[in-house]
């Protein structure tokens, strides 16, 4: 997510926050879903389509593991395979997975495409 822009009032206290539209719609959906039952939430998620992931993937992401590595493992790809599919050097991929480098927008986009996920899933 992009860092929000904070607008301060006359006393210097935060009064407004400007966030990307995509983030706003995500938050609005969460707010609308707050009163739904588990079954209604499940039905809503299924109607949106898309891929779901095993709990192990979610647990690893929530534990702070590198998303590129988690999704690469989930897809059953080696570093060499993912590097080749995304057109980057395997050493560069290793550095991204270890957190030594962050990867450019172009690189993350190529990795996301090769992994079949959204770029947002890797950030």
What local confidence, expressed as pLDDT, does residue 1 receive?
Answer: 55
Domain residue limits at 28: 5-48
Selected residue with higher pLDDT from 59 and 31 = 59
Q: Which residue has the tokens 């929530």?
A: 62
Which DSSP string corresponds to 84-103? HHHTS-HHHHHHHHHTS---
List pLDDT tens digits, range 73-117. Answer: 999 999 999 999 999 999 999 999 999 998 999 999 999 999 999
* CATH code: domain of residue 114: 1.10.260.40
% the chain with pLDDT above 70: 97
Q: How far apart are CA 44 and CA 88, in angstroms?
A: 37
Q: What is the pLDDT of residues 41-53, one digit of tens each?
A: 788 888 887 778 8
Distances (CA, A) of 25 to 32, 49, 106: 10, 17, 25
Q: What's the first-to-final CA gap in the chain, in angstroms?
A: 7
Same domain? 64 vs 115? yes
Looking at the structure, tell me whether residues 41 and 66 fall in a common domain.
no
Closest CA to 102 of 67, 76, 75, 71: 67
42 & 99 share domain: no
The total domain count for the chain is 2
Distance, CA of 85 to chain centre: 20
Q: Is the pTM of this model over 0.75?
A: no
């Amino acid at each position: 997510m992009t860092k929000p822009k904070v607008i301060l009032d006359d006393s210097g206290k935060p009064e407004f926050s400007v966030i990307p539209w995509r983030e706003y719609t995500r938050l609005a959906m969460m707010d609308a879903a707050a009163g739904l039952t588990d079954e209604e939430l499940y039905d809503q998620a299924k109607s949106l389509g898309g891929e779901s992931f095993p709990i192990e993937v979610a647990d690893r992401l929530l534990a702070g593991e590198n998303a590129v590595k988690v999704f690469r493992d989930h897809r059953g790809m080696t570093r060499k395979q993912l590097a080749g599919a995304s057109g980057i050097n395997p050493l560069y991929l290793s550095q991204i997975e270890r957190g030594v480098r962050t990867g450019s927008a172009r690189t993350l986009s190529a990795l996301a495409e090769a992994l079949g996920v959204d770029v947002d899933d890797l950030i």
